[in-house]
Amino acid sequence: MQTQFQFPGARLTMSLSLRPFLALVLSGWLVAVAPGLTAGEETPPMPLAIHGALVYPVSGAPIRDGLVLVRDGKITYVGPAAGRMYTADHRVLRAAVVTPGLVDARGTVGVSGMLNQPQDQEQVERSAPLQPELRAIDAYNAKDELVAYVRARGVTTIHTGHGPGALVTGQTLVVKLLGRGSDADVLVPAAMIATTLGGDATTQEKGKSPGTPAKAVAMLRAELIKARDYADKRAKAADDKKPARDLRLEALARALDGSQPLLVSVDRSRDILAALRVAKEFNLKIVLEGCADAPDVLGEIKASGFPVILHPTMARSNQTRENLSMETAGRLKAAGIPFAIESGYESYVPKTRIVLFEAAVAAANGLGREAALAAITLDAARLLGVADRVGSLEVGKDGDVALYDGDPFEYTTRCVGVAINGQLFPAETAAP
């Protein structure tokens, strides 16, 4: 019998030959892991030998009785444990299930904090509707408790920064959750420019713009035209006659030349189509985010070639997301549209969702287990342009690994250890 997992709500099932092995894991091996994990390993970290009753590389087939070796922060071996020797300096860890460190395709962790209080909510600067010049790397707090909270549940990389809440809120970054600092932990310092059409982009305050979806699109178009003219003038003018630098227009000029995509938060079908229309007009690279109404415009999204960072599966189905469906991930997959699943942002405590749980529900609602795991690992890494380093367990990639005491998509399963660049961090039970 092949080892397999059931959907959420059912415990891990296994072949009879594997039961004694997992019984040993759960009764003794995991107990030995957690006490040895610390939040600040030596540099370089100790080599790791991670045994898993099941190892999910994501880039290949699952491995029963698998082994992952990590040295100097990089993966040096992934495969069967049987007959594979390693040196005595490796720290040995054992778990029921081993996966790549999870990749959260979009959140605001480190910019929005744990407390749900004004002093740690910095994901939106509300003094103006368009502020593309704001950089997440200048706002990211690697020491926030929420970073450790998410990391302890298996997330090792996150695309975070300025969130929805205004027309253009600023830039995002892709960062490892090492907790050292934005400069030390960053993978992509200026990843995308966060934009919203519809919903949070509009304001109900009298006399404030944009007050309607059409006004929001018009304002964005006008600013892109200014940025295009600005870039043209600076490119053509002599050095002593170039226009003065304008940080806002410089940022949008990067969107125009394709070096920094627009991350467009849209949920209603009209706003999705508006985003595609603007992208075509200005030859932009965009990533669609949210997309509650995606099933209504699958053909248009597919034809555009743009990827989707899908709203959390269990997001609240109200306001612009009133048509939300837990089956949307499966429909995107069936349509052949590249996508990943996000934690997103919602104003509740703790101030983030966990992508593992969102993927679990998507798996049970038409997406399937393998695709769901990929949506929070390798597919997310590909969408963010960091798949050469993270997202799968492959030789040469970063030593980012998550260890679990059972089926990761089962709610009673615990994350019992996390490694980032080969550095070990506390298990979920030891986290805030």
pLDDT confidence of residue 76: 98
pLDDT confidence of residue 432: 56
395-415 burial: b if 16+ Cβ within 10 Å, else e:
eebbbbbbbbbbbbbbeebbb
pLDDT in tens, 216-243: 999 999 999 999 999 999 999 998 889 9
Fold type of domain 103-384: TIM Barrel (3.20.20)
Average pLDDT over residues 94-119: 93
Q: Does 291 have pLDDT greater than 50?
A: yes
Highest mean pLDDT among 6-15, 192-201, 359-368: 359-368
Let me know the angle formed at the C-alpha of 336 by 334 and 342, rounded to the nearest 5 degrees.
85
Q: What is the mean pLDDT of the chain?
A: 89
pLDDT confidence of residue 7: 30
* Of residues 228, 193, 200, the one with CA closest to residue 216: 200
pLDDT band at 266; cut points 50, 70, 90: very high
Contacts of 384-388 with C-beta under 8 Å, sequence gap 24+, read: 384/103, 384/105, 384/159, 384/174, 384/188, 384/191, 384/340, 385/174, 385/188, 385/191, 386/103, 386/157, 386/174, 386/187, 386/188
Q: Specify which residues 168 forms β-bridges with.
A: 130, 195
Distance (Å, whole) CA 231 – CA 99: 45
Find out whether 152 and 428 touch, Cβ atoms under 8 Å: yes
Least confident among 29-33, 250-254, 338-342, 401-405: 29-33
Average pLDDT over residues 118-138: 92
Better-predicted residue by pLDDT, 44 or 29: 44
Average pLDDT over residues 22-28: 40
pLDDT in tens, 342-382: 999 887 767 799 999 999 999 999 999 999 999 999 999 99
Tokens 């975070």, located at residue: 160
pLDDT confidence of residue 11: 35
Q: Does 98 have pLDDT greater than 70?
A: yes
Distance (Å, whole) CA 284 – CA 302: 16
Q: Does 12 have pLDDT greater than 60?
A: no
Find out whether 311 and 295 touch, Cβ atoms under 8 Å: no
Q: Does 257 have pLDDT greater than 50?
A: yes
pLDDT in tens, 46-75: 999 999 999 999 999 999 999 999 999 999
Residues in the chain, how many? Answer: 432
Let me know the angle formed at the C-alpha of 311 by 309 and 313, rounded to the nearest 5 degrees.
125
Neighbours of 341 (CB within 10 A): 32
**Alpha carbon separation from 200 to 111, 203, 428 (Å, rounded):** 18, 7, 34
Distance (Å, whole) CA 207 – CA 209: 7
pLDDT in tens, 304-353: 999 999 999 999 998 899 999 999 999 999 999 999 999 998 877 677 99
For CATH 3.20.20.140, the residue range(s) in the chain are: 103-384
Domain formed by 19-101+395-430, architecture: Roll (2.30)
Q: H helices of 199-315, where?
A: 213-236, 247-256, 269-282, 298-304
For CATH 2.30.40.10, the residue range(s) in the chain are: 19-101+395-430
pLDDT confidence of residue 294: 98
Share of the chain above pLDDT 70, in %: 88
Q: Does 197 have pLDDT greater than 80?
A: yes
* Of residues 283, 162, 258, 168, the one with CA closest to residue 217: 168
pLDDT band at 35; cut points 50, 70, 90: very low
Q: Does 42 have pLDDT greater than 70?
A: no
Q: What SS3 state is found at 351?
A: coil
pLDDT band at 203; cut points 50, 70, 90: confident
pLDDT confidence of residue 430: 54
